[in-house]
Structure 1
């Protein structure tokens, strides 16, 4: 029994927690050490007292943190309280259900609170927006107060990320005299501001709002140090740099060096979105030597060019880069446009650059892969758009003055003097190199049209007025390039299919009618024949089907019929005159036996075109039905035309 009890005690001892080494002497040491620490008893007493207080709630903790944050902001921001008051007023001004009078009253209150601190408020992330809203809704007298306060600091505010929006708003609402004063404040600092990402926005905004003389004064500062220092020198009647240099006796080499020092940092930073920079670059290229001009063209050739061609000057620069760039640089330009072709084609100025690429670049495989493929995806939108149709018409009827003004035709013929070979243009705003390119005219529609004959005659007599220009720059035969881009690429088939699908919409459209006419006639020189002849027959039948629809008795719906609509009736008449195949299809499918019904109104012009046709077969086919209408006075036809055909 004694042995069992002994073993049991051993087991119980093993279950007990084993203590570590004896630390009694360490505790005693620390206790003695702590006695020598001053304030130790007070610290322990305060902790003891805190333990007695109740723990704070989460809400109380948040309130304390908020109060602490507010105190720190007040200490850090001198106008923090004012900003809070302005934010409350702004919330009221932003409401949609508030009247203009109430907005004006709130703006007045806010401006009164800000008076004297407007420049500090303008650079604040939140309060600058309040100030912009106040300027928008306040009276002119209150705007004058804001302008007078910020005008001494205009240059500083123009470089601030938030204040720049206020400066733009002030320029928008300024009177003529105030705008003149603001532009004067920029004098001497235009070049430095254009090198600044934010400051350049202010210069461009002022440039867009300025009149002609003010624009010239802003631009002249980029030309030379003399024009930057002496404002009166910039007020010359001459606008172009090549005319200003001899007028003022400036040193051309000095001007070139100064402009290079201004332009190079802008190019390196990529600040190329502004029209004032585009104008400066064009003027620089007009005086630059060969190596400097080639260097600028090389720097611009690439994705940066896409950001420039939305302005008239930018589009000119784009064309200069396409014309004078090497094959490698042209490739970079086209690749940089990848994904943006549709947008460029619809742009007012960008479409001219696209037309220049189609007329100059010899690498048709690259153009087909990038440009043509993207055009095909938005073909229906392009044929109905005023600008989007122009690249297509450039392929169907190159350099036609009817589709583009003489200014647009002149643009592809711009050239850089130092990069031109001898005998080419001597100015960047160039004397146009005019070369008449007579279209290949044949008697039938397959080889040409009656309009082509007339254009060829007029062009030979007066080529400059007719606008037949030679777009040089490529080495490939223009007719071969055109065939590869239009027919071989498959664009022609897609174009005819689109015209068949949307024939009615295109005929009734003021812009689409030109595309469907050029497609139906096969393009200048019959470029579409014989590749898509079968599809063209289907197009003729689609138009004839629309013309065969019954005449509407309601006045409101008369314009919906292709024979009675102003635009469609005239383009169908033109097709009858210029394309015998179409005239024959239209007569047999839609008009034979029904001419008396269509002898009045806009449709009468279509009917009379059959008697005016240059094809004797068409006249003979329709004469038996139309001549009695002419004799009875139901159908009027110009006697000169009729006499000419009979002769």
Structure 2
């Protein structure tokens, strides 16, 4: 065996000897059998080599890297031709798509390219929509084509829209068709969803289509989609779903449904959605909030306990993609990785329903749950603060959570780093104003106050068991009535929660102990001129200058006096053409007037620095409100300080004091 093995040569050695010219004959295999079968006829090789008619010439094997790449490409093309039915058409459409989607192409040229592509796809729309390449072409065509061409595509695909709604790539085409559909076509699509809403919502891709239609629907159409989640009867009988917008309790009463059976059915459907994790959609938020209105305490807590882990982890659904984990997506773009790391609780802050759902989890979750929610927001605080509804969620956090060390570390420190941006922003200033003046109707609308006071009925504190700061829960039905109330009637309202810490103590710890108050005053001093003349900034400047509600800024009184000096110095500047004077500017004149009336210390500083001996100059126009405010002040010291100089102006008719403000005794 050893001798036989030594005669055999490795392929590399034979190749090397062949290059050196040392060619050895191949060893003969002894015995007949297979060796005899492999032996060729002497004339056969010569005949084939000379191009005999009986056999095709041998194909040249690729040698160079370029030849190998070309051969691999040819093989891949051949396989695709066999595997894909419309492969040649896909290649043609891809070339047209590259031209029509360019930004610099003219409208006429794009219209021609779109019409050409539609003609090629005619009759094959269903097959085209399923491919990840051609689905994009068809989506672009739907976007830029004429209305008649779009109608033809919609009519052809209408029977298959529900099927396409479950497909990974076709879902974008369905969304585009919904977006550009006429009222009649959209109503037809809503009608086709009947009986399928409950099945599509647990689907990771189909849920996105249902929610997209829900957002564009009218209130009756939204109700029609929601009703299928309430009862089997409403899912089977379409006529029952055609009704005006009613709440769940009103629907149960009107249709004579059994509350227990509705609760049981909704529990099953919501559990399916929670198990699949498709909870980022507004239709799901609305359904869960409706469920809370009839759910008992145990059922409501079960849903909240299942929601919190889903809301605090990264979103798994990306525009219809299948669920995935960030660590398993090395080839995904940075933008998608960022969205995956973003907690779902941040993404749902686009609607009022999403905000209410998040507030429910925060209010009724345990201390451990609240800690988990706040930790998930690390790095997302500024995004929330600048959002219409996200800023309200931050207000809930700083008004409810007793762990002020955790809130200071994650929320307050992040806000303190971007104070200049926040104090001038409509939404960004609201968490700061909440600390300075909680739940002030001047800064929060009745609808905002209703959201902040939202409570799950079965979980709300009973009378006599409420915490020290808790009062009656405000329902949505009371929002309209609240708008008729005076601001002072809303000041005593508190956010209902399970908090145990005194609200004033919580505010003091978040403002003073965290050093936020000092940074806030310093930021106001540095930007005093801009804040005075800013529509949004002036409110924050006022609250800081007066020390906040209940004098919460008492610990930084010296710094506040420096702010008074800065405001008075700005007002003491002479008139220039470059910038409007503080007494004459629409915003600054009004906020200075409020400071004079509400803060005697500021009024005295302003009088001595900017107005003493100059009142006649400012007795007309917007500035007259500032001058007259000294006589409207409740402080006798302020009135006595200004009266000797202002009384002659009143007697001569130069200065007029408003009668409704209760002018002081002359």
Shorter chain as denominator, the TM-score bin is 0.7 to 0.9
Matched, 1:646 2:665: yes
Q: 1:138 aligns with which of 140, 145, 161?
A: 145
Who is 1:543 aligned against? Answer: 567
CA distance in 2, matches of 1:21, 1:537: 102
Q: Does 1:420 align with 2:464?
A: no
- The residue number in structure 1 matching 2:124 is 117
Q: Distance in 2 between matches of 1:25 and 1:227?
A: 87
Residue 645 of structure 1 aligns to a residue in which SS? coil
Matched, 1:511 2:530: no
Q: What count of residue pairs does the alignment treat as equivalent?
A: 599
Deviation at 1:609, TM superposition (A): 1.4
Cα deviation 1:434-472 (Å, max 9, x = unaligned): xx9xxxxxxxxxxxxxxxxxxxxx99xx79954531223
Aligned to 2:407: 367
- Distance in 2 (CA, whole Å) between partners of 1:428 and 1:46 is 99
Structure 1 pair 94–238 and aligned structure 2 pair: CA distance change class (3 A): closer
Contact kept? 1:415, 1:430, Cα under 8 Å:
no
The whole-number CA distance in structure 1 between the counterparts of 2:82 and 2:4 is 56
Deviation (angstroms), 1:561: 2.9
Correspondence for 1:526 among 508, 528, 551? 551
**Residue 305 (structure 1) aligned with residue 345 (structure 2):** yes
CA contact (8 A) 1:483 1:527 kept: yes
Partner of 1:10: none
Residue 487 (structure 1) aligns with: 512
Distance in 2 (alpha carbons) for counterparts of 1:588 and 1:320? 52
Segment drifting more, 347-356 vs 26-35 = 26-35
Measure, in 1, the Cα distance between the counterparts of 2:287 and 2:145. 37
Provide Cα deviations, 1:316-338, integer angstroms capped at 9, x if missing partner.
11222222222222222222222
Cα distance 1:149–1:350, how it changes in 2: closer, same or farther (>3 A)?
Answer: same
Task: Spell out, residue by residue over 1:603-624, the C-alpha distance to the aligned partner (whole angstroms, 9 max, x if none).
Answer: 2221221222222222222233
> How large is the RMSD of aligned CA atoms in angstroms?
3.1
Residue 301 of structure 1 deviates from its aligned partner by 2.6
Corresponding residue for residue 392 of structure 2: 352
Map 1:148-547 → 2, pairs under 5 A: 148-237=155-244, 239-302=246-309, 303=312, 304-423=344-463, 429=475, 465-466=489-490, 468-473=492-497, 474-529=499-554, 531-547=555-571
The 10-residue stretch of structure 1 (575-584 or 604-613) with the greater mean CA deviation from structure 2: 604-613
Q: CA deviation at 1:348?
A: 0.9
Structure 1 residues 39 and 29, CA gap change in structure 2 (3 angstroms): closer
* Superposition deviation, residue 592 in structure 1: 2.4
Q: Which residue of 1 aligns with 2:77?
A: 70
Alpha-carbon distance, 1:236 to partner: 2.9
Aligned to 1:439: none
Shift of 1:31: 8.8
Match of 1:37 in 2: 38
Work out whether residues 164 and 171 of structure 2, in 8 Å CA contact, stay in contact via their aligned partners in 1.
yes
For the Cα contact (< 8 Å) 2:453–2:474, is it kept in 1? no
Which blocks of at least 5 consecutive residues in structure 2 are unaligned?
Answer: 9-23, 52-56, 313-343
Measured at CA, do residues 549 and 421 of structure 1 come closer, stay the same or move farther in structure 2, by a change above 3 Å? closer
Q: Does 1:590 align with 2:614?
A: no
Tell me how far apart the structure 2 counterparts of residues 389 and 325 of structure 1 sit (CA, whole Å). Answer: 27
Task: Work out the CA distance in 2 between the residues paired with 1:504 and 1:406.
Answer: 31
**Closer, same or farther in 2 for the Cα pair 1:361/1:28, shift >3 Å?**
closer
Shift of 1:594: 2.8
Q: Distance in 2 between matches of 1:179 and 1:510?
A: 42
- Inter-partner Cα distance in structure 2 for 1:547 and 1:97: 53
- Distance change in 2, residues 1:589/1:314 (3 Å): same
Q: Is this contact kept in 1: 2:517–2:553, CA < 8 A?
A: yes
1:483-527: CA deviation from partner (whole Å, max 9, x where unpaired): 222222222111111111111222221111111100100011111
What is the match of residue 92 of structure 1? 99
Q: TM-score, normalised by structure 2?
A: 0.83
Deviates more, 1:381-390 or 1:224-233: 381-390
Partners in 2 of 1:100 and 1:165 — Cα distance?
A: 23
3-state DSSP of counterpart to 2:592: helix
SS of 1:644's equivalent in the other structure is: coil
| Structure 1 counterpart of 2:327 | none
Distance in 2 of aligned mates of 1:19 and 1:195: 69
1:68-99 C-alpha deviation (Å, 9 max, x unpaired): 33222221111111111111211221223222
Deviation (angstroms), 1:420:
2.9
Q: Residue 100 of structure 2 contacts residue 113 of structure 2 at CA under 8 Å; is this kept in 1?
A: yes
Q: 1:360 Cα shift?
A: 1.9
Correspondence for 1:13: none
Mapped contact 2:657–2:663 kept (Cα < 8 A): no
Change in Cα spacing, 1:645 to 1:66, as seen in structure 2 (3 Å) is: same
Q: Residues 644 and 561 of structure 1: is their aligned pair in 2 closer, same or farther, counting only changes over 3 Å?
A: closer
In 2: Cα distance, 1:537 partner to 1:463 partner: 28
Aligned-pair CA distance for 1:206 = 0.4
1:612 to 632, 635, 643: 632
Asked whether the 8 Å contact 1:376–1:491 carries over to 2, the reply is yes
CA shift, 1:351, in A, is 1.7
State the structure with more CA Rg. Answer: 1
Q: Residue 521 of structure 1 contacts residue 578 of structure 1 at CA under 8 Å; is this kept in 2?
A: yes
**Does the 8 Å contact 1:286/1:428 carry over to 2?**
no
Q: Which moved more, 1:240-249 or 1:53-62?
A: 53-62
CA distance in 1, matches of 2:130, 2:29: 62
Instruction: Check conservation: 1:364, 1:485, Cα contact below 8 A.
Output: yes
CA shift, 1:21, in A, is: 7.8
Cα distance per residue 1:233-256 (max 9 Å; x no partner):
112335111111122121222211
Deviation at residue 22 of structure 1 after TM alignment: 8.6
SS of alignment partner, residue 663 of structure 2? helix
Partners of 2:381 and 2:414 within 8 A in 1: yes
Q: State the Cα deviation string for residues 578-629 of structure 1 (Å, max 9, x = none).
A: 1111112122222223333333322222122122222222222223333333
Distance 1:65 1:416, change over 3 A: closer
Whole-angstrom distance in 2 between the partners of 1:428 and 1:612: 35
Return the TM-score normalized by structure 1: 0.86
Q: 3-state DSSP class of the match of 1:589?
A: helix
| Structure 1 counterpart SS, 2:607 | helix
For the residues of structure 2 that align with 1:464 and 1:292, how far apart are their CA atoms? 38
Contact kept? 1:409, 1:467, Cα under 8 Å = no
The 3-state SS of whatever aligns with 1:205 is helix
- Pick closer, same or farther for the CA change 1:356–1:73 going to 2, 3 Å: same
Question: In structure 2, how many angstroms separate the alpha carbons of the residues matched to 1:21 and 1:78?
Answer: 55
